[in-house]
Each structure stands twice: as C-alpha cells, then as structure tokens.
Amino acid sequence: MLTLLGVAVLVVGFVVRIHPLLVVAAAAIATSLSAGMSPIEGISALGKAFNDNRYVSLVWLILPVIGLLERAGLQERARALVSRVRGATTGRLLLVYFVVRQVSAALGLTSLGGHAQMVRPLIAPMAEGAAENRYGPLPDRTRWLIRASAAAADNVALFFGEDIFLAIASILLIKGFLEQNGIFVEPLQVSIWAIPTAILALLIHGTRLLLLDRRLRRELARVAHDSRVSDVDTGEGRG
C-alpha cells in the first residue's frame, strides 16, 4: 500500500495548488522511494517514461502551429462562425463537443481533441461567442466559467470514452493491476464494462452542460440588473 503514497502527494499538491509539474515529479519520486527504488533509479525511470512517450515530441510540433493560427485570428474566426448559428448556446455547443470527443476516444482517436489543440483555440472561443451573441459582453467571472466548462467537457469525455477502446494504455493498466491482486480478466471484458460508465458520464455531464445555459442566463440577468440599478443611482446622485 505504500506505493500509493504518490497518489496522496498528487491530491495534496493539487489541493494546495502547487505547480503541476512539481507535484507530478514529487509524486513520481515518492512512489519510487516507497517501492524500494533508489533516488537515482526513480529519476531514471521517470526520465525513461518521459523519453518513451512519443506524444511529448508531438506536442512540440503542435504548440507552435496553434500559436501561429491564434496569432492569425483563429479564435476570432471561431467566434464569427458560431455567431451564424441561431440556435447555438454555450451548453448545447459543449454538449455536441462532448459527444464527438467521447465517441472518437471510444474509437481510439484520443488525439483528435485536447486542451492545447482544440479547447483553447476553438471550443472555448466558440462557447464564449455563443454566450456573447445572446447576452452581450461577458464579465470576466462568466468568461472563466465558460472556459472551465469547455476544459471539463474535454476531460470527462476523454476519461470515460477511451476505456471503451480495447487497445488503450488504461485498459492494459487496469488489467495489470487486477492481475497483481489475483483477478484475471480479459481486456475485452474491461472494455465492455466501460460502456455503461461512459453512458452514465454522458447523461450526467450532459445534464450539467444543459444546466449551464440556465446558470448563465440567471447570472448575466443579475449582472445586467445590478448595472442598471447602479446607473440609476449614479444619475440620481448627479441630479
């Protein structure tokens, strides 16, 4: 059980809001030490895993491209595109993305979405644009709420969708962990039993996204009312 010490380090680090890279590195070192590895062996294992992860090298290619596209007005184009759709709302748009992200992850296409290449440059600006079309300029608090909701939609959809795909690292991790505890299952069994969980995730988080529209309508109506009251008070004071 001591090898689970790294999980506790992760939880405490994120609660205290320490830099994520420091938290992950500390959790890896804590796990390696609790597993009986020397500090050198633990750091070597962490470096090997980092080097073997091909997605890391892909990130260095994606980020400059995304940066150039944003500089050329990608986010503005995304806002203009969603403004042409009359029935588009923030919750509906994020729900559509959630479904697409979950289905593509279930098919093994986990790299089609993501925060850097999809949420920040496209989904979040489109969700903000949908809200601006209905309510006008958004306060910073509402803007951050929409961005957080877009990021959450990507996280939840990927997390519960990728386990349906048979040849995914998470399935192999679950299989290996169960075998270490004397429980032998086939990857196909784990994949099939991930389907009900993914459906529940879609229903629960989809409901939350639809309720987001109601929350935005209520909060922005209150902001508009407070603004009108403030203008009236200011006018009476001048009079």
Domain boundary among 16, 37, 52: 52
pLDDT of residue 43: 77
Question: Could you tell me if 171 and 76 lie in one domain?
Answer: yes
Question: Above 80 in pLDDT, residue 59?
Answer: no
Question: Could you tell me if 66 and 26 lie in one domain?
Answer: no
Question: Could you tell me if 28 and 94 lie in one domain?
Answer: no
pLDDT tens-place string over residues 60-97: 556 666 667 667 777 777 777 777 777 789 999 999 99
pTM of the model: 0.68
* Average pLDDT of span 97-103: 95
pLDDT of residue 154: 95
Question: Could you tell me if 63 and 135 lie in one domain?
Answer: yes
Question: Could you tell me if 187 and 216 lie in one domain?
Answer: yes
Question: Could you tell me if 216 and 102 lie in one domain?
Answer: yes
Question: Could you tell me if 113 and 24 lie in one domain?
Answer: no
* Average pLDDT of span 121-149: 89
Question: Could you tell me if 68 and 37 lie in one domain?
Answer: no
Domain boundary among 52, 67, 82: 52
CB 163 within 8 A of CB 104: no
Instruction: Please provide the distance, in angstroms rounded to a whole number, between the alpha carbons at the two ends of the chain.
Output: 72
Question: Could you tell me if 90 and 199 lie in one domain?
Answer: yes
Distances in Å between the Cα of 158 and the Cα atoms of 18, 69, 134, 193 are: 25, 24, 29, 16
- Joined together, the tokens standing for residue 211 give 């309720």
Question: Could you tell me if 42 and 97 lie in one domain?
Answer: no
Question: Could you tell me if 87 and 48 lie in one domain?
Answer: no
pLDDT of residue 1: 62
CA angle, 163 then 193 then 187, to 5°: 60
Amino acid code (one letter) for 130: A
pLDDT of residue 203: 96
Question: Could you tell me if 72 and 139 lie in one domain?
Answer: yes
By the 10 Å C-beta count (0-12 exposed, 13-18 middle, 19+ buried), 226 is classed as: exposed
Q: How many domains does the chain have?
A: 2
Residue 194 belongs to domain spanning = 56-238
